Structures are given as C-alpha cells and as structure tokens.
Amino acid sequence: MTNLLPFVDVETAEKPDKLVIWLHGLGDSGHGFAPIVPAFNLPDECHVRFVFPHAPIRPITINNGMKMPGWYDIASMDIVSRADEKGVRESALQIEALIEAELAKGFKAENMVIAGFSQGGVMAYHIGTRLKYKIAGILALSTYLAVPEKLAQEVNDINKQTPLLAAHGTADDVVPFAAGKMAADSLSQLGFNVEWQEYPMQHNLCPQQITYIGQWLNKVFNA
C-alpha cells in the first residue's frame, strides 16, 4: 500500500485544530457530503478540518458485479453477513493510514471524530471501536455492524467512554431500522457510550439531524 486514499477536504478556519474523517456510502464519493459542512453551523471558534475520502472502485455482487466506489463488497442482503469481512479489513487499513497522515500534520487524536454514513458508518464503527488511542467521538449514521460475532473479542476499551452518536431513519428502505438499533444496542451492551437518535426519514439525512450533528460536534470538541 503505497498511495493514500484520495479525498476532498473542507476547513472551517485557516488553522484548524480539530479533525473529522467522514466516510461516504456505497456508490458515493467524498464529494457527496462535503457541501454539508456549512449546514452544521459550527461556531467561529470551532476550527475543524473535514476530510472526506473516496472509497476504492470495486465490483459489487448485489449490483450484478457493477464497479463503483465501495468500502467493501456486498454479496448478500442478510444484515449479519452483508459486509464482506476481507474488504472491510482492507479498507480499514487504508483509512487508518489516511488518519495517521492527518495526525502527522499536528492534529491530536483526542481532537478527532470518525464519522460515516451507511457503508461509511460500518467503517466508522469498525475502526472507532478498535483504535488503540482515544479520540473525541464516533458518528455512525444509517448503518450496521460488520462481523458482529467478532466485535466483543476485537474491541479496544480505550474509547468506551468516547461519545458515540448513532442515528437512523425509521423508514429506511436500504439498511433496516432494526439493524441500526441492533448495532447501537450491541455496542451499549459492550460498555460503549452510545447516544441513539431516530428520525422519520428514509436512507438519508434530514435538516433536524444535520442541526443536531453540528451541535454534537461542537460539544465533543469542547468537552
């Protein structure tokens, strides 16, 4: 692995001291969520660098092998086995390399949030619960767990008190609401500091949720 993942970056100040790594969903790119940053309405004193990586292009089995940006393959819609473990672990290494490169610029890990939507949320869960250093927060949107049967053996305790915001649409027709709730409950049972939010929406973000995420980011960065 010689090249870092390409990405889009948005900075809310000239010299940001906070970092958000935001991972997109299947078929999207880093460009998909970048325009949302102003809608968070972060206060002027909250200087944040948002990094939106692009997932590798790969064939997706459930889409007849069509190639598209994805953090892993999906061979089955069964929620327990939906995420291809090999792909998840390969992408985790690539994302962690990007994180290390960002931290090398002078950001502190305790001032970093890992966020993701759908497939990106799977990656945020996977990486955030296994990191060996403490971070500011984990944000998991409209998502589920990869390899849930291995979670208890692989998690690292260091981020169990780290704020973890999980949110899901009650009418989600892509990732069932029950799967999102099950993921959040599983992490709560393992001792993670989970806050659960649900919204009357499908597989997307809504204005009320975006406002709350902005408030949450400001809170965890100033805790």
Residues sharing a CB contact under 8 Å with residue 3, sequence separation 6 or more, in sequence order: none
Cα–Cα dist 103/177, whole Å: 34
203 is catalytic: yes
* Chain segment 131-145, per-residue pLDDT in tens: 999 999 999 999 999
**Of the candidates 75, 27, 73, 92, which has an alpha carbon nearest to the alpha carbon of residue 54?**
27
pTM for the predicted model, two decimal places? 0.96
Other CB atoms within 10 A of residue 16 CB:
20
* Chain segment 74-113, per-residue pLDDT in tens: 988 887 788 899 999 999 999 999 999 999 999 999 999 9
Residue type, 140: A
168: which 2 tokens?
A: 């899901």
- Whether the per-residue pLDDT at 2 is higher than 80: the answer is no
pLDDT at residue 80, rounded to an integer: 76
- Summary mean pLDDT of the chain: 95
Q: What is the mean pLDDT of residues 18-42?
A: 97
Among residues 29, 91, 118, 142, the one annotated as catalytic is 118
222: which 2 tokens?
A: 């100033």
Q: ∠ at Cα 123 (4, 136), nearest 5°?
A: 90
118 is catalytic: yes
In 74-192, beta strands by DSSP E: 112-117, 137-141, 163-169
Q: Tell me the backbone φ, ψ of residue 144, rounded to 5 degrees.
A: -155, 180
Radius of gyration of the CA atoms of the chain, in A: 16
103: which 2 tokens?
A: 């931290």
Query: Which stretch of DSSP H or E encloses residue 41?
Result: none
Cα–Cα dist 62/26, whole Å: 12
Among residues 28, 73, 84, 172, the one annotated as catalytic is 172
Cα–Cα dist 168/204, whole Å: 9
Cα–Cα dist 184/121, whole Å: 12
Q: What is the mean pLDDT of residues 195-210?
A: 97
Question: pLDDT grade, residue 1 (50/70/90)?
Answer: very low
Distance of CA 121 to the CA centre of its chain: 4
Domains annotated for the chain, with CATH where assigned, are: 7-221 (3.40.50.1820)
Residues sharing a CB contact under 8 Å with residue 45, sequence separation 6 or more, in sequence order: none
Q: What is the mean pLDDT of residues 146-153?
A: 92
172 is catalytic: yes
